[in-house]
Chain A
Amino acid sequence: MTLTLLSATPSAPAPPRETPASDAAALIARLARPVPSTTPYAEVRFAHLLKTPQVQHGELDYGGAGKLGKRVEQPYRETMTIDAGSVQVQREGRSTRHFPLDRAPELQALLAGFSALLGGDAATLEKIFDIRFVDNAPKWTLTLTPHEAALRKHLREIVVDGSAAEPHCFSLHEIDGDASVMLLGTLAGSVLPRPPTRSALDAICQRVAP
């Protein structure tokens, strides 16, 4: 992944501070990924229906507004592509499944937010989420809380940790306590404890990426 270090990194360490919305917008604009771009990821999902967290490795694709792809490589192979409001899931040994995104308004809003984040589109992102930006240079944290009732029913918040123009972790916290933490880029290769714990993941996300 190309590091676009256009952001002027302050030389002196400053205390963590909540910054005005315009700074958040400026940061989000810097987050814009080139089209197309691909990044490896590791995802840990904590689901209350399951006794143990599930770990997944693969690659994420970003092909421009509304076009997302997720390729699972471990522990099974699956390709999911989202384009023009429709999801297509290809799982090894199974027939391809399609379903329109509008069947799941919360998923639709989530993916719209995700796409806006990857596109550096602060305006769209603000339509969907309340954005809190904590700048602890060179690290920063974006906390996104959904506006929409449909999305709020399921999703509490999304936390994006990163440094400079690079996001490192996407953490999804659901209302029912389920959570999913996605380690991106170089962090995708991090060694995880077995079974992975939330605190271990938090620690990885707080680390400044090399």
Chain B
Amino acid sequence: MSVAARRALLIGSWLALAALALFVRHALVIDSDLRRFMPPAANADQKLLLDEIGDGPASRLLLLAIGGASEETLAPLARGLALKLRADAHFARVLDGQADPAALDPALLPYRYLLSPTLDHAAFDSAFLRSELEQRIQDLSSPGADMLEELLPRDPSLEVLTLAQRWTPAKVPITRDGVWFSPRGEALLLAQTHAPGFDPAAQAAALDALQAGFDALPNSGSARLTISGPGYFSVLVGASTRAQAEWLSAFGTLGFVLLLLFAYRSAGVLMLAALPLLSGALLGIIILMLAFGSVHGITLAFGFTLLGVAQEYPIRVFSHRRADVGASASLRAVWPLLRLAIVSACIAYLAFFASGVTGLQQLAVFTISGLLVAGVVTRWLLPLVMPSHFRDAADMAGLESARAWLAALPRPRWLPWILLAFALALLWLAPTPLWQNDLSALTPVPPALLVREGELRDALGAPDVRYLLVLDAASADAVLDVSEKISPQLDKLIAAHAVDDAELPSRYLPSLATQHSRQARLPDRATLTAALDAALADLPFQPGLFAPFIDDVEKARALPALTPAEFAHSPFGARLEAMLVQRDGHWLGLATLTGVHEPAELAALATANPGQVRLLDLKGASESLIAQYRARILQALGVALLLLALTVAAAFRDLRRAWHVIAPMSLATLLVLAVLRISGVSLSLFHLVALTLAAGLGLHYALFFERKVENAAEGRRTLHATLVCVLSAVMVFGLLATSSLPVLRAIGLTVALGVAFHFCLSILMAQESTTPTVEK
């Protein structure tokens, strides 16, 4: 091929890749809902977590504080923001100081006698009425009397206030001018998103809308909006992880470019080296989109990591390029081995596909198609666009002495066994738990923000994000029954400070049975009139003042009991509606808890009401899901290793040679594990993925070192290729290992260590000691 045609083809390839990249950028739908990446629920708690409640109502709460200005400036900002958010489709509800619980829907006013618990322990007889009326005279002399005057003729026992008090959470921030204020003078709001807290992309969209809404308010420049809450943290931590990963990767890429320039003394190489990996990644995404519609964010993150193996392909091609024959011819010499590496990796990843978990299947499709595309590009495109003049890596100064030194190293047969015993001993002695199931521990939130979160949560009396009481019954009304039954039990726990507050559905609406029994205690008109007259005897009230009260009681006696569906129209209806979930013919009541101090006491309450009440530990449930997910990955990896060994053995048709390849790879993986564990690292999914990548790279080293070479020059080329691969991997991942973020450190450290171990063990175990060196 002419130089011009080669250039045209290279430019054409890049243009095609750019077009693909543009297409992917526009068409790619990234799905970040963790539920679709997880295995199906195995127990009731996991099912609740995955299907029914997401990660809990509390984790969808964003805590907002507006500070940095005077109260006069902050109050209208808070009101304006609440107004904007209530109109915004991202938010399910917005809580602020404006919701006045005292404002009972006028349509529900006669219902107050069915809703208020007063009639559970009192009757409207003359003694009760007398005591209430005496108090009202005293109330009329207090400065708040004005408020009462309107209410009094209808409601002498002030049931409306009883309900208001009942519906007010135990802890409410100080309210000024209809706006909540924190002790340090910031205006406070609570906004609940529709999106679950574990969906960072959807949370990010809600946060953008929130910030835009705030910025659009007049005077917003003079104040400062602080956001806190699980959703905000997931976005924040995601962004800072991405920023640090990009920053470190940029350095890594720079180092890689310099390494390539040093190794091949050619700038043209740079244009070629990226082709296989980029094409593999882009086409992999497109195939994934065709197969699954949307692509999970975790698939992409894990997939790109695993696809890192493909960066070795062009390096093998460059280093094995011989000066004396053409590009295609030199490639043909190493292609069978490269093909074996690609095919065996693909077959191994089939195990992920068989896992039955959508997220892992996506990972398999992406990785396999990506590796295949990268392989095809390496084999059939690279030779066409490689320059005709290429430096033979075998001629590099110093390489021969390095090769000879490595080749002459003693390779005692017992050494691998000692290493194996050593690794097992370290694993045995490891001081920390084997697994880290709390993924958030890998992406920790800065402590200062957590402190702030605690302050805001405390000021707002916001519910606990970890625990949730779940009531289970056949109907919505039966849920209210259960709720009423456990209400006194919970009150005891609140009094004992096991928990600060519990918001039960029956706080807002009593069950039909309770409403009926209260109704039955309401006296008829004649009885009530007589009781009232007796009670009023010598009290100074104007005659006939309480006629509206007698009318209301009469009305309440004939009312049909209030159902959840009817109650839904009232200001508190939305609150109740959010607490009642219908699912597969049964109903769940979700009771949020505030300030959980003794989870064991709550668990005991749940045990005392089997089948009806469950204390859902959202953290525990999600950790058990992660554990289950990890178990699937481990299974898949086990099968993958087996498939890999079988493929290699089948290709070699020689168990001994296959052993030379598989053994160093396995031992190196074990050694990485041992070193990580003895340094106190608990393993996570990220470590597993990183170990898999390292093993994939290790397979290449072992395969190429195991290969019988006909001369020392080819041996030098193998060493050159492997050194470029090892150095680049150690550099790129070693940089990640310096990260302050545990998740990046986990990947970086594991791969860098792995690559180093794989390299050493491949030399030690895969290479025959002292190959006969006959210069061609």
Please report A residues at the B interface, Cβ cutoff 8 Å.
Answer: 43, 45, 47-52, 54, 56, 70, 72, 76, 78, 80, 84-87, 89, 91, 94, 100, 102-104, 106-107, 110-111, 154, 174, 176, 178, 180
Pick 29 A–B contacts, CB within 8 A, sort by A. Answer: A43-B141, A45-B140, A45-B145, A47-B149, A48-B542, A49-B140, A49-B153, A49-B541, A49-B542, A49-B545, A51-B542, A54-B137, A54-B140, A54-B540, A56-B141, A70-B142, A72-B141, A76-B138, A85-B174, A91-B135, A94-B135, A100-B174, A102-B97, A102-B176, A104-B147, A107-B147, A110-B143, A111-B143, A176-B149
Give the contacts of B99-156 with A (CB-CB under 8 A). Answer: 100, 102, 135, 137-138, 140-147, 149, 152-153
A45 CB contacts on chain B under 8 angstroms: 140-141, 145
Q: How far is the CB of A150 from chain B (nearest CB, A)?
A: 11
A91 CB contacts on chain B under 8 angstroms: 135, 138
Q: How far is the CB of B428 from chain A (nearest CB, A)?
A: 60
Cβ of B144 and Cβ of A87 under 8 Å apart? yes
The answer to whether B172 has its CB under 8 Å from any CB of chain A is yes
A100 CB contacts on chain B under 8 angstroms: 172, 174-175
B149 CB contacts on chain A under 8 angstroms: 47-49, 176, 178
A48 CB contacts on chain B under 8 angstroms: 149, 542
The answer to whether B177 has its CB under 8 Å from any CB of chain A is yes
Instruction: For the complex, give the distance between the alpha carbons of A87 and B152 in Å.
Output: 20
From B102, B172, B174, name the one whose CB has the most chain A CB atoms within 10 angstroms. B174
A110 CB contacts on chain B under 8 angstroms: 143
Main secondary structure of the interface of B (DSSP, over half): loop
Q: Which of A43, A50, A176 contacts B137 (CB 8 A)?
A: A50
Cβ of B144 and Cβ of A107 under 8 Å apart? yes
Q: Given A47-B149, A76-B138, 19 more contacts at CB 8 Å?
A: A47-B140, A49-B152, A49-B545, A50-B140, A50-B541, A50-B542, A51-B542, A54-B140, A56-B141, A78-B138, A84-B174, A85-B174, A91-B138, A100-B175, A102-B175, A103-B102, A103-B147, A111-B143, A178-B145
Q: How far is the CB of B226 from chain A (nearest CB, A)?
A: 22
Q: Which of A54, A70, A85, A107 contacts B146 (CB 8 A)?
A: A107
Instruction: For the complex, give the distance between the alpha carbons of A199 and B440 in Å.
Output: 75
Q: Which of B100, B145, B153 contacts A103 (CB 8 A)?
A: B100
With contact pairs A50-B542, A80-B142, A91-B135 given, residues A85 and B175 touching in the complex (Cβ less than 8 Å): yes
A89 CB contacts on chain B under 8 angstroms: 142
A-B contact count (CB 8 A): 76
Instruction: For the complex, give the distance between the alpha carbons of A85 and B175 in Å.
Output: 8
In the complex, the chain A residue whose C-beta lies closest to that of B146 is A154
Give the contacts of B570-627 with A (CB-CB under 8 A). Answer: none
The answer to whether B308 has its CB under 8 Å from any CB of chain A is no
A70 CB contacts on chain B under 8 angstroms: 142-143
Please report B residues at the A interface, Cβ cutoff 8 Å.
Answer: 97, 100, 102, 135, 137-138, 140-147, 149, 152-153, 172, 174-178, 540-542, 545
From B138, B153, B177, name the one whose CB has the most chain A CB atoms within 10 angstroms. B138
Instruction: For the complex, give the distance between the alpha carbons of A30 and B332 in Å.
Output: 104
Q: How far is the CB of A69 from chain B (nearest CB, A)?
A: 12
B97 CB contacts on chain A under 8 angstroms: 102
In the complex, the chain A residue whose C-beta lies closest to that of B183 is A84
Instruction: For the complex, give the distance between the alpha carbons of A103 and B161 in Å.
Output: 11
In the complex, the chain B residue whose C-beta lies closest to that of A106 is B146
Instruction: For the complex, give the distance between the alpha carbons of A176 and B152 in Å.
Output: 15
B545 CB contacts on chain A under 8 angstroms: 49
B141 CB contacts on chain A under 8 angstroms: 43, 45, 54, 56, 72, 180
Q: How far is the CB of A173 from chain B (nearest CB, A)?
A: 12
In the complex, the chain B residue whose C-beta lies closest to that of A78 is B138
Instruction: For the complex, give the distance between the alpha carbons of A7 and B768 in Å.
Output: 111
In the complex, the chain A residue whose C-beta lies closest to that of B142 is A80
In the complex, the chain A residue whose C-beta lies closest to that of B98 is A102
Instruction: For the complex, give the distance between the alpha carbons of A85 and B135 in Å.
Output: 24
Q: How far is the CB of B615 from chain A (nearest CB, A)?
A: 30
Instruction: For the complex, give the distance between the alpha carbons of A106 and B137 in Å.
Output: 20
Q: How far is the CB of A42 from chain B (nearest CB, A)?
A: 12
Q: How far is the CB of A52 from chain B (nearest CB, A)?
A: 5
Q: How far is the CB of A129 from chain B (nearest CB, A)?
A: 16
With contact pairs A107-B144, A154-B146 given, residues A102 and B137 touching in the complex (Cβ less than 8 Å): no
Instruction: For the complex, give the distance between the alpha carbons of A84 and B541 in Å.
Output: 34
B142 CB contacts on chain A under 8 angstroms: 70, 78, 80, 89
Cβ of A50 and Cβ of B102 under 8 Å apart? no
Q: How far is the CB of B204 from chain A (nearest CB, A)?
A: 35
B541 CB contacts on chain A under 8 angstroms: 49-51
A76 CB contacts on chain B under 8 angstroms: 138
Q: How far is the CB of A77 from chain B (nearest CB, A)?
A: 10
In the complex, the chain B residue whose C-beta lies closest to that of A77 is B138
Q: How far is the CB of A111 from chain B (nearest CB, A)?
A: 7
Instruction: For the complex, give the distance between the alpha carbons of A70 and B100 in Å.
Output: 27
A49 CB contacts on chain B under 8 angstroms: 140, 149, 152-153, 541-542, 545
With contact pairs A47-B145, A49-B152, A174-B146 given, residues A102 and B140 touching in the complex (Cβ less than 8 Å): no
A111 CB contacts on chain B under 8 angstroms: 143
B153 CB contacts on chain A under 8 angstroms: 49
In the complex, the chain A residue whose C-beta lies closest to that of B148 is A49
Q: How far is the CB of A91 from chain B (nearest CB, A)?
A: 7
From B102, B177, B540, name the one whose CB has the most chain A CB atoms within 10 angstroms. B540
In the complex, the chain A residue whose C-beta lies closest to that of B545 is A49
B140 CB contacts on chain A under 8 angstroms: 45, 47, 49-50, 54
A47 CB contacts on chain B under 8 angstroms: 140, 145, 149
Instruction: For the complex, give the distance between the alpha carbons of A86 and B145 in Å.
Output: 16
Q: How far is the CB of B77 from chain A (nearest CB, A)?
A: 17
From A47, A104, A174, name the one whose CB has the most chain B CB atoms within 10 angstroms. A47
B175 CB contacts on chain A under 8 angstroms: 85, 100, 102
Instruction: For the complex, give the distance between the alpha carbons of A180 and B142 in Å.
Output: 10
Cβ of A85 and Cβ of B176 under 8 Å apart? yes
A87 CB contacts on chain B under 8 angstroms: 144
Instruction: For the complex, give the distance between the alpha carbons of A104 and B146 in Å.
Output: 9
